[in-house]
Amino acid sequence: GAVVSQHPSWVICKSGTSVKIECRSLDFQATTMFWYRQFPKQSLMLMATSNEGSKATYEQGVEKDKFLINHASLTLSTLTVTSAHPEDSSFYICSARDAGLPQTTNEKLFFGSGTQLSVL
Amino acid sequence: DQQVKQNSPSLSVQEGRISILNCDYTNSMFDYFLWYKKYPAEGPTFLISISSIKDKNEDGRFTVFLNKSAKHLSLHIVPSQPGDSAVYFCAASFTGTASKLTFGTGTRLQVTL
């Protein structure tokens, strides 16, 4: 099956620093990638939709200047948490859609393994 | 506002028996529903889906039932196997906006020997 690689799997950083998380589709091209966040005992919440070659679309309540998304190639999207604070500590996970498949096919979303971010 | 709810955070079932995982939703406009399975240190993987025009979809040991009037769906696993032990997420979406999945909080299933 298709593989989405997400790195790092966990990161601890000091408050005020920035953290970059990478999401790569290894065996398919992904024109669209999605970034989710999950706080403890809550559900995965869509943060933003990343489109290759264009600006990301952010969900309501997500600060675009704090969560910078870059999707410069068909296989790589990055999420940078800028000036991280303890309240940004969360589980971040990406998913990617195979560009070769029908766009309405939700089941063809492939997820990374997630990144646990802890901000001290 | 939790639009998709999985009220049971965990479930333990004996091997060979039926596992029933439940999911409720509040938005009647959702018309496509999916179940994902997640092992530790891995991302969720697609398991089975159902469109609102159906009330049942079956794939091997996995069956999803949809009750639109009750805004309720369930995943049945028969027979349950130890390898089914994982966290199961239900998700809902609107047809045509395939990316916007609204997830439940997940149910951890443990299949015991």
pLDDT of the residue at B2 = 78
Percent share of chain B, pLDDT over 70:
96
Count of positions (residues) in chain B: 113
Query: What's the average model confidence in pLDDT over B60-72?
Result: 97
- CA–chain centroid gap for B3, Å, is 14
Residue A22 confidence (pLDDT) above 90:
yes
Q: Residue A21 has which token pair?
A: 């998380």
Tell me the nearest-neighbour CA distance from B68 into chain A, angstroms. Answer: 20
| Confidence grade of residue A61 (pLDDT, cut at 50, 70, 90) | very high
pLDDT of the residue at A40 = 86
| Confidence grade of residue A105 (pLDDT, cut at 50, 70, 90) | low
Asked if residues B65 and B74 have their Cβ atoms less than 8 Å apart, the reply is yes
Radius of gyration, alpha carbons of chain A: 14
Whether A105 and B98 lie within 8 Å, measured CB to CB = yes
Closest CA relative to residue A24, chosen from A91, A79, A90, A106: A79
Q: Which residue in the set A1, A41, A106 is minimally distant from B34, CB to CB?
A: A106
A111 touching B (Cβ < 8 Å): yes
pLDDT of the residue at B39 = 93
Count of positions (residues) in chain A: 120
Residue A103 confidence (pLDDT) above 70:
no
CB-side exposure of B103: number of CA atoms within 13 Å?
26
Q: What is the tens place of the pLDDT at every residue in A73-93?
A: 899 999 999 999 999 999 999
pLDDT of the residue at A48 = 94
Q: Which residues of B, range 92-111, sit inside 8 Å of A by Cβ?
A: 93, 95-96, 98-106
Q: Which residue in the set A9, A49, A110 is minimally distant from B99, CB to CB?
A: A49
The average confidence (pLDDT) of chain A is 90
Whether A106 and B106 lie within 8 Å, measured CB to CB = no
Taking the CB of residue A30, how many other CB atoms lie within 10 A of it?
29
pLDDT: is A53 or B5 the higher one?
A: B5
The average confidence (pLDDT) of chain B is 93
Q: What is the tens place of the pLDDT at every residue in B36-45?
A: 999 988 889 9
Query: What's the average model confidence in pLDDT over B11-34?
Result: 95
A105 touching B (Cβ < 8 Å): yes
CB-side exposure of B49: number of CA atoms within 13 Å?
23
A106 touching B (Cβ < 8 Å): yes
| Confidence grade of residue B98 (pLDDT, cut at 50, 70, 90) | low
The residues that bridge with B37 in the sheet, in sequence order, are B45, B88
Q: Is B64 helix (H, G, I), strand (E, B) or coil?
A: strand
Whether B43 and A6 lie within 8 Å, measured CB to CB = yes
A77 touching B (Cβ < 8 Å): no
Q: Residue A113 has which token pair?
A: 């393994």
pLDDT of the residue at A107 = 66
Instruction: Write out chain A residues lying below 8 Å of B98, CB-based.
Output: 97, 103-106, 109
Asked if residues A3 and A26 have their Cβ atoms less than 8 Å apart, the reply is yes
**Minimum mean pLDDT among A60-69, A105-114, B47-56: which range?**
A105-114
Q: Residue A87 has which token pair?
A: 């309240």
Whether A42 and B105 lie within 8 Å, measured CB to CB = yes
pLDDT of the residue at A111 = 93
Cβ contacts of B62 within 8 Å, gap of 6 or more: B35, B47, B48, B75, B76, B77
DSSP class of residue A84 equals -
Q: What is the tens place of the pLDDT at every residue in A34-48?
A: 999 999 888 999 999
Query: What's the average model confidence in pLDDT over B66-91?
Result: 97
Identify the residue whose tokens are 């679309």: A57
